[in-house]
Amino acid sequence: MDHQPHRTRDNDHHPHQRSGSHDQHRVLDLDAEVFSDKVAAVLDVAGPTAARSVVDLGAGTGAGSRLLRERYPDAAVTCVDNDPQMLELLRGQGFDVVEADLDHGFPALAGSLPTADAAAETPVDVVWASSSLHHVADPARLLSGVRRALSPGGVLVVVELAALPRFLSHPREALLEQRCHAAAAAEGWNHHPNWTPVIEAAGFSVTQSEVTTVAPVTPAAREYARQWFARFLHLPALTADDRDAVEDLLERFSNDIALEPHTTRTVWVATPDQNKIHSSRK
Ligand SMILES: C[S@@+](CC[C@H](N)C(=O)[O-])C[C@H]1O[C@@H](n2cnc3c(N)ncnc32)[C@H](O)[C@@H]1O
C-alpha cells in the first residue's frame, strides 16, 4: 500500500485544481454547506465531552473549524494552514490562526510563527484534519507531532472522501458520472492511503468508520454538482462522447436534472495509545 502521498499532493479531490482561488474557496464552502453537517457528529460518540483546545490542521475556509466551534463552544479553536488567503478568511471568522507548513511537522501554536517545540505547549484536546493529511509530504512526522501535542484523553480525527461525491440519479447519467470518476481517479484525484497503519505507527489506537450523507436538492447542491462536472470536462481520459454528454449536462444543471446528492467520508478517530512507543521524530 502506498503511504507516500507526495505524488498525489497536487491531485486534490476537490474540484479546484484548475480554478482560481475564489472558486476554490467557494467549492470548500459548498461542500460544507451541502454535505458536512454530520461529520463532526463522530465526536459525539468518540470525542471528549468538553475541550479547551482544538486544532484544525489544513483548515481551508474553516468548514471544519466552524463545526468544531459549534461542538466545543468553550474551546479555543486554532486553525493551521499555509495558504495566506485561507488564513485571512479564517481570521475574519474570529479563529486563532497559525500560518505553518505541515510538511515540517506539527507547529507550535502560541503565536503566528511556528517553532520546533510543540510539546512545550498546552496539551490539545482535539486535532482535526479533514481532506488535508493527503497533502502533507511527511504524514508520519506530522502525526508523531500530533501524538506529542495531544492531552492523554485527547482525540485525533482524520477525514477523507471515501469516493468523490455523487449527484446524478437517472441511471444513464449516473453511469456517465461513474465514468467521470474513473477518469478523475486516473489523474490521481482523491488518492489517499488507508491511514489506519500510518496513524497506529505514530502511537495511536484507531477506529475507522464511514459516514454517508444524503443531501437535499438545494440550489447549493446544484451549484456544487455543476462545479464538479465543469472540472470533469478537462479530464484527459474522458472520451469525446462523454465530454459532449458532460457539456450537455452543464447546460441543464440549473433546472431539469434529477439529483440525489450523496457522499461518503472515511473517518479515522485515534486516541493516544499509552502502551505504544511512538517515534520521537519532529
Ligand atoms: C482540500 S482543503 C481542506 C480544507 C478543510 N479542511 C475542509 O475540509 O474544507 C486542504 C487545505 O490544506 C491546506 N494545506 C495543504 N498542504 C498544506 C501544508 N503543507 N501545510 C499547511 N496547510 C496545507 C490547504 O491550503 C487547504 O486549505
135 Cα–ligand 1 center, Å: 7
Residue-level pLDDT at 25: 86
Atom of ligand 1 nearest to the CA of 31: 9
Q: How far is the CA of 59 from the centre of ligand 1 (A)?
A: 6
Give the span between the Cα atoms of 109 and 101, in whole angstroms.
13
Exposure letters 131-166 (e unless 16+ CB within 10 A, then b): bbbbbbebbbbbbbbbbbbbbeebbbbbbbbeebbb
Q: Report whether residue 148 contacts ligand 1, using a CB cutoff of 6 Å.
A: no
Q: Is the pLDDT of residue 109 over 70?
A: yes
What global pTM score does this model have?
Answer: 0.88
Q: How many CB atoms lie within 10 A of CB 183?
A: 19
Residue 13 reports pLDDT greater than 90: no
Distance 211 CA to ligand 1 centre (A): 21
| 222 alpha carbon – ligand 1 mean position (Å) | 24
At residue 193, the pLDDT reads 96
pLDDT digits (tens, 9 = 90+) for 125-134: 999 999 999 9
Between CA 41 and CA 61 the distance in angstroms is: 20
Sketch out the chain's domains with CATH numbers: 5-165+190-214+264-272 (3.40.50.150)
pLDDT in tens, 62-86: 999 999 999 999 999 999 999 999 9
Short-list 165, 183, 150, CA closest to 27: 165
Distances (CA, A) of 224 to 66, 184, 196: 20, 17, 30
